Structure 1
Amino acid sequence: MLEWIVAGAVFVVALMLLPRLLARAKDGTKKGGGGMMVALGLIFASAFDPARAAATEELDRRKDAEGEDEGESGGEP
């Protein structure tokens, strides 16, 4: 439960800092906000990419199938 509270707090802080980072990235005199925006874009793109989710699910399914086969080979309990 504590992990969810910490994750939620980090998420809320990140959302609170987002407008400041956006304003800083739009201002041409200051540097440093552009890299943060690219990183956020990559995070959201990978989190909401359906093809990546399908590939991850397929890899997990294959890994589970291999694990079941190894358990039946008569190895040590």
Structure 2
Amino acid sequence: MVTINEIKKKFKDEWVLLEVLQEDELNQPTRVKLITHSKNRDDIYDALIDTKGKHTYQFWTGEIPKKGYAVAFVKRCTNG
């Protein structure tokens, strides 16, 4: 098991999907298990399908845009 800070350092500027194994009294994850990580958020959503019944936590490890900036996410389409 690893900590959230270790995950953030190891997978810089990526989306991360974790299984939460233990929380503190404020419901913050204290013990987690890595399920997957990716630069592409769609990969995280695809992996969520296999996590039914698990307590999961997903987040972006990179820098959050500063106030006044906007971010757009584009869904990639793949046909056959």
- TM-score computed with the length of structure 2 as normaliser: 0.21
- TM-score computed with the length of structure 1 as normaliser: 0.22
